[in-house]
Copies of this chain bind each other. A is one copy, B any other.
Amino acid sequence: MNTQPTLFTSFSPALLHLYDLSDSIVVIIDILRATSTISTALFNGAKAVIPVDSISRCIELGRQIEGITAGERDGKIAEGLQHGNSPFEYPREFVEGKTLVFTTTNGTRLLQMALDKGATEIVTGAFSNISVLCDYLMVMKRNVVLACAAWRDRINLEDSLFAGAVIHEVGKYFSINCDSSNIARSMYESAKEDLVGFMQKNNASHYHRLMGFGLEKDIRYCLTPDLANVLPKYDNGKLTVQ
């Protein structure tokens, strides 16, 4: 009898309904750039990140709690917000002790969707915090759903690669009856020597969108492991480090 916990990968919010979230740790993945930036802000001492799903709610809440309003739509700083979702906007000297109110095209929307679908434990994952995430998943011995934010429901390379990287690390501790997980792992294992090169070669659509905005530095940061090794955990409306 197999008593290992299960692991599934959802490549798109449009596939999330296929998985049982209520009995799993749900890992929200939005590599370019929401979850990379969330771990960075918390690593640099932010008190909390409050994910919200609309710009108007972001502005309203930011005013109420005197927080930093931040976020993007379609890869650019959203109109009316103070900051975007580049990890470089949140160094310690700026963010320490502050609360970010944060809204993004895909990542914060997916988090809200996971809550609506009954998720009871939500953390965020990115290359920037991959080691602490993997350690956590191994220690907890609970079922896991790796939930990729994708791009307007279209599967993307970077979130899928990250799911593969996690499975490459922790897969042997889980029962994996999930071809999405197998696809992700196989892809990561053929890409791992040079993730940036793999993204370039495979013409990742979001990579090129951001390159067009001059964000190569962000991309390199977001594909580098362990630059902000804390585990953002969602509780009571906020992402914080426990």
Contact = CB atoms under 8 A, between A and B. Distances in A.
A135 to B, nearest CB: 24
A236 interface: no
Contact of A153 (B18, B178, B205): B18
A203 B179 CA distance: 8
Tell which of A155, A178, A202, A205 has the most Cβ of chain B within 10 Å: A155
A232 to B, nearest CB: 25
A132 B179 CA distance: 28
Given A14-B18, A155-B11, A183 B183 contact: yes
Range of interface residues on chain A? 20 to 34
A137 interface: no
Interface string A16-35: 00100000000000000000
A54 to B, nearest CB: 22
A182 interface: yes
Contacts of A185: 202
Contacts of A156: 179
A156 B18 CA distance: 14
Nearest to A164: B183
Interface string A175-190: 0111110110111001
Interface string A200-213: 00111110000000
Given A15-B15, A15-B154, A179-B202, 12 more contacts: A154-B178, A155-B179, A155-B180, A157-B179, A157-B182, A160-B183, A177-B203, A178-B205, A179-B205, A179-B206, A183-B183, A190-B190
